[in-house]
Structure 1
Amino acid sequence: MVDDGRTTEEPRERGPRAAWANLPWLVRAAVLWSACLVVVVAGLYLLGRIALLLAPLAIAVAATLFLAAMLDPVQRLLRRLRLPASLAALLTVVLLLGVLVGVGALVWNLTAEQFDKLSSELTRGVEETRNFVTSTLPVSDQQLDRLVDQARQAAGGGGGLDPVSGARTAAEVFGSALLALVLLFFLLKDGRTMWRWMLDRMTGPNRALTAEAGRNGWHTLGAYSRGTLMIAAIDAIGIGLALVVLRVPLAFPLALITFFGAFIPIIGATVAGTVAVLVALAANGPVTALLILAAVIAVQQIEGNLLEPLIMKRQVNLHPAVILVVVTAGTLIAGIAGAFVAVPITAVVWRVVDTVQRHRAGPMSEASA
């Protein structure tokens, strides 16, 4: 072949693949991460929409898992006494019903006549706070009313009461509670059998990983449910004692509100503490209200810095900012029920993801060592 002195250029690759390869690595990484984020957000949105359509079923399943994790030690204790699985599960459910009915009857007898007074005292406290705000800050009554109306509409409380929707909601609540009890019985009776059946259908290395992730997630849910119950009781006792010592009326109903508020982290404690301070302000004046506020803050600090790490044993290790975000998101999606289940779902998912990451990083770390 004769060389005529001309150099021939190699053909350059053209097309989408070449254009993608010619992009800077930072742009490619941003595109890939953005696409993954869009897929994850779309999947979460789809799951949320499905959960909203099946809200009674979703609430029943969430309550069943929460109660099963809380009552699992009781069921295991009965099984160690050589009771059949069905009888142990039935006795556990009956024990739960007995505690709920007994506590409900006691609370009703002690507080049924006081809740009307609690409402009036709370209204007085709100009015005194309103007068203080309008007299101290450059805010008029009309502006404050506008802000309150906007907050009420944002919380979904702007509409009136519809008897039909109220009856439908009551029926859904009753049906969800009944379904949760039935599911709780079967989960306590056959939960481990169903889990082993699912693991037996899996092969390869994913079986061990799934077993470990499921075990860690279940332990996390159990630690959260039992720990939250203990912390709620301690909060109610601590704040209730402060109310009794300072001679604030309606101490028992306020302690009860504190107990139930503790099941919704951060937001529930804040609302319960606000109610206690407003009642103290209306009944005993600003000095007692400030002392109750100091007691609420002290109890919350002791809970967050001492009791929660000790009781939870750091199995539910979520940053307060993450808890606040997920509780707010759960409230916006499904109201109080969403706020209740947001943190345990997040804790379990995080524990499972952390288990998977550590499992995959294990062989790499051993190879590098």
Structure 2
Amino acid sequence: MSGSARPGAPASDHPVDEVTARGPAAVAQASRDAADPTPREASPVEASIPRPVQLAAAWAWRVLLIMAAAAVGVWAVSALKTIVVPVAIAILLAVLLAPVARFLRERLRLPRALAAGASLIGLLGLVGGLLTIAGNSVVRGFSDLGDQAAQGVEEVTLWLAEGPLHLSAEQIEAYIDQIGSSVSANSGGVVSGALSVTTTLGHVAAGALIALFCTFFFLLDGGTIWRWCVGLLPGQARARAHQAARRGLVTLGAYTRTQILVAFVDAVGIGTGAAILGVPLALPLSILVFIGSFVPFVGAVLTGSIAVLVALVSQGPGAAIIMLVIVLVVQQIEGHVLQPLLMGHAVSLHPVAVLLAVASGSFLAGVVGALLAVPVVAVLNTVILYLSGHDKFPTLGDEDAFHGSSPQSAPADPPEATAVAVGPDTAGEERP
């Protein structure tokens, strides 16, 4: 009967479709078998090695090769940090300013160059204005925060000696000496990590100029720059690399905007609580909390502890306890409300991954590494998921396809269907 399977017949009437469904590796193996139908016999050495050992060896050398490539990449980034860090900052700034530049082009009909320049000048004016308004208070405040925190540490030390723990003076001094020696031993690394780009003022100025210069041209001509970079890849990899990068930029933009919002909420919450309690230096504390919030876990703990110490010195233990409660409440709102709701979908990183990323970044590149670790890992997570078949942003689709064939063939002014500027909201936008 036609409905019954014949003995020895294949499981499907379309064996080619079955091979194709198994993936590219199966198709390649079928092609090799068709070209050379004679099965290859294993050598005596291969036959004597158990199959699990062969698989383990195959995995081992590939993993070692990946680790070696990653090590070379980290070394290259460290050697070129004077260039890499300003370019990374420029990408973040371009992601933030891309919606503003697009608004100026589409709504106000400004030329592309003028819109990019106005966006960048507006950002510089905003930051400069805020620093001018709060300049004197901030300059005086940061110089006083260290003294206030040191006095707070002294009061905590006194409480440890006279409080319920009854620690001896020798024990407390030994602990303080250990902490001081650790800080002194690592101070050079901390300072170099905080600066990261440089050890001289000239290098800092050069890095700032590179960041501003790259930000302007990313806003002005990000699509052409990206098309040239993708054109360096093999032809068959360009389309997928292009689509993966689009999704990575969406993740980067979502992370950057959300982190700024989270840092602002932390700064306003803790600063308002300090102002209500009458704690001095409330404005510098708010700015310190805002900056520290960009480093997950570590920054929030350190800046919150400084606020508590200042409250302890200025207002006494009661105000310090209230300040501690305020800091804990703000951090709980951040960790259990803001982070899961605002950032969870776009970044999709487990807290353990965030903690390990921050620790690894700070170990490799100091403070700057801790600041950039989470966005880098978030973008890599999105890109790797897309390349492995798990699209986090299926609504983006592939309508903004890459059609370039080589770096030389990329047009100076790509059409709407192929333009991808730096920033998640600029993919596929029309260029005037």
Q: Same fold (TM over 0.5)?
A: yes
Describe the SS at the equivalent of 2:380: helix
For residues 324-364 of structure 1, give each alpha carbon's deviation from its aligned partner in whole angstroms, at most 9, with x where no partner exists.
1111111122111111111111110111001111269xxxx
Partner of 1:90: 117
Task: Kindly indicate whether residue 360 of structure 2 is the aligned counterpart of residue 329 of structure 1.
Answer: yes
Describe the SS at the equivalent of 2:117: helix
Q: What does 1:269-348 correspond to in 2, within 5 Å? A: 269-312=300-343, 314-348=345-379
- Residues 240, 219 of structure 1: CA spacing in aligned structure 2 closer, same or farther, 3 A cutoff? same
- In proportion to residue count, which structure has more helix? 1
For residues 252-291 of structure 1, give each alpha carbon's deviation from its aligned partner in whole angstroms, at most 9, with x where no partner exists.
1111100011111111111111111111122222222222
Among candidates 37, 59, 75, match of residue 101 of structure 2: 75
Q: Is the 8 A contact 1:277 1:289 kept in 2?
A: yes
Counting aligned pairs with the same residue, the percent is: 36
The CA deviation at 1:170 is 1.8
Q: What does 1:117-156 correspond to in 2, within 5 Å? A: 117-135=144-162, 136=165, 138=167, 140-153=171-184, 155-156=186-187
Stretches of structure 1 lacking an aligned partner (at least 5 in a row): 1-10, 361-369
1 CA distance for matches of 2:90 and 2:245? 17
Q: What does 1:95-106 correspond to in 2, within 5 Å? A: 95-106=122-133
Residue 97 of structure 1 aligns with an amino acid whose one-letter code is: L
TM-score when scaled to structure 2? 0.73
- Residues 193, 82 of structure 1: CA spacing in aligned structure 2 closer, same or farther, 3 A cutoff? farther
2 CA distance for matches of 1:96 and 1:351? 28
Partner of 2:71: 45
Partner of 1:14: 44
Q: What does 1:61-72 correspond to in 2, within 5 Å? A: 61-72=87-98
Partner of 2:29: none
Q: Give the paired residue count.
A: 343
The CA deviation at 1:310 is 3.2
The CA deviation at 1:14 is 2.2
For residues 234-255 of structure 1, give each alpha carbon's deviation from its aligned partner in whole angstroms, at most 9, with x where no partner exists.
1100111111122211111111
Residue 361 of structure 2 aligns with an amino acid whose one-letter code is: G
4+ residue segments displaced more than 4 Å:
157-161, 165-168, 197-205
Partner of 2:409: none
Partner of 1:6: none
2 CA distance for matches of 1:332 and 1:167? 17
Q: What does 1:197-236 correspond to in 2, within 5 Å? A: 197-199=228-230, 206-236=237-267
Q: What does 1:246-265 correspond to in 2, within 5 Å? A: 246-265=277-296
Of residues 111-120 and 268-277 in structure 1, the stretch that sits farther from structure 2 once superposed is 111-120
Query: Please, what is the CA RMSD of the aligned residues?
Result: 2.8
1 CA distance for matches of 2:151 and 2:320? 13
Q: Is the 8 A contact 2:197 2:204 kept in 1?
A: no
Q: Is the 8 A contact 2:270 2:327 kept in 1?
A: yes
The CA deviation at 1:28 is 3.8
2 CA distance for matches of 1:166 and 1:126? 32
2 CA distance for matches of 1:324 and 1:245? 33
1 CA distance for matches of 2:307 and 2:390? 47
Describe the SS at the equivalent of 1:265: coil
The CA deviation at 1:187 is 0.6
Q: Is the 8 A contact 2:264 2:290 kept in 1?
A: yes
The CA deviation at 1:219 is 0.7
Residue 103 of structure 2 aligns with an amino acid whose one-letter code is: L
1 CA distance for matches of 2:372 and 2:231? 30
For residues 195-222 of structure 1, give each alpha carbon's deviation from its aligned partner in whole angstroms, at most 9, with x where no partner exists.
2445567676533322221110011111
2 CA distance for matches of 1:193 and 1:54? 24
The CA deviation at 1:34 is 3.4
